[in-house]
Amino acid sequence: MAKPVADSRSNRAAVQATNDDASASKLSCVKKGYMKDDYVHLFVKKQLRRAPIINRGYFARWAALRKMLNQFLDCEPNADGNGNIRKQILSLGAGFDTMFFQLQDEGKAPHLYVELDFIEVTSKKAALIETYSQLRDKVGETASISSEKGEVHSDHYKLLPVDLRNIENLNDIIAQANLDPSLPTFIIAECVLIYLDPDSSRAIVGWASRTFSTSIFFLYEQVVDTIKLNLVFFYRLDPSLHPFNLSSNAILSQGTVDTLLMYCNDLLAYYVAY
């Protein structure tokens, strides 16, 4: 049975509210010197001070993603006839993430960077990109920006609205974004699938596996466990969410060739410390 419209809207609003919370947490990490991000403050209305365990968790998440992204972008360049590297990054439920702008500063931005989220989120992000020259300059002078549609279109960056639960719409969005399924693609889903029912989560992972022949799926989610950090995150989120149960890899095995599972502490010890 379909959920009532009011319940659906309420759930979407709750999910979108966590986007603001995540941006504030990232800014807290930046202020404490855990990481460098020259853009996140543009997306935060009110600066908050987070507890050390929250800062540490966000740092582990950021550092692991950056390390894997750098490995993806640096290895075996896939160049076109002009020697330009042709790799893609697809961020599902991107929120106010600033990774594209950071990679631009570092000279590591891929051939194409695509971000997807609810229109309520992409509209706000498009408006902020249009408002701040620091952001607008990075997407390019010829970029088409529409806060009303929640869209940004430039040669190397796309911001598009979509409800990830509507799998049938994803292929249309991919075509609209000019993503090439044959190119190496790094897919990011940070704290996204937890807000979806298990069937939708399986459908998204399966779709990504079928669509992109050469891809890496970076998935960062809360899981059913007794680790203190996970419990802290759970208490901060809606109890009706769908955390992963690691007794079953049904979601992670949807067409994937290799799967690596790591806890937050493992990320700090392995990906960050070395």
Judged against a pLDDT cut of 90, whether residue 64 lies above it is answered with: no
Domain count, the chain: 1
- Can you tell me the distance from the alpha carbon of 44 to that of 58, in angstroms, rounded to the nearest whole number? 16
Q: Of 88, 60, 94, which is closest to residue 178 (Cα–Cα)?
A: 88
Looking at the DSSP assignment, which residues form a beta bridge with residue 38?
none
Residue 210 marked in a binding site:
no
> What pLDDT does residue 28 have?
95
The tokens describing 126, both together, are 């498009």
User: Does residue 35 carry a pLDDT above 90?
Assistant: yes
The 8-class DSSP code of residue 16 comes to: H
Please give the residue that has the higher pLDDT: either 2 or 183: 183
CATH at residue 155: 3.40.50.150
Report the pLDDT value the prediction gives residue 271, as an integer from 0 to 100. 58
**Does the annotation place 66 within a ligand binding site?**
no
Q: What is the mean pLDDT of residues 105-121?
A: 95
Highest mean pLDDT among 127-136, 160-169, 249-258: 127-136
**Residue whose token pair is 């600033």:** 98
Does 61 show up as a binding residue in the annotation? yes
Q: Determine which helix (DSSP H) or strand (DSSP E) holds 23, and give its type and residue range.
A: helix 5-31
Residue 230 has pLDDT above 50, yes or no: no
Q: 6 to each of 11, 12, 19, 30, how far by Cα in Å? A: 9, 10, 21, 37
pLDDT at 4: 46
d(CA 112, CA 268): 29
In the prediction, which pLDDT does 53 show?
Answer: 84
Provide mean pLDDT across the span 102-109: 95
Burial class (CB in 10 A: 0-12, 13-18, 19+), 240: exposed
11 versus 56: the higher-pLDDT residue is 56
Selection from 23-27, 48-52, 210-214, 232-236 with the highest mean pLDDT: 23-27
Question: Across residues 221-244, what is the average pLDDT?
Answer: 51
149 in helix, strand or coil?
coil
Give the residue from 69, 63, 135, 48 showing the smallest Cα distance to 98.
135
The boundaries of the domain holding residue 161 are 5-272
Judge whether 93 is annotated as a binding position. yes
pLDDT value of residue 180: 96
What tokens were used for 109?
A: 């931005």
User: Residue holding tokens 């979509």?
Assistant: 162
Nearest 5°: the CA angle 190, 184, 38 is 45
Share of the chain above pLDDT 90, in %: 47
| Distance in angstroms (rounded) separating the CA atoms of residues 227 and 182 | 39
Establish whether 163 is an annotated binding residue: yes
Q: What is the pTM of this model?
A: 0.84
Average pLDDT on 251-264 reads 58
Identify any residues that bridge with 216 across adjacent strands, giving them in sequence order.
186
- Examine the pLDDT at 99 and tell me if it is beyond 60: yes
For residue 209, the model assigns a pLDDT of 86
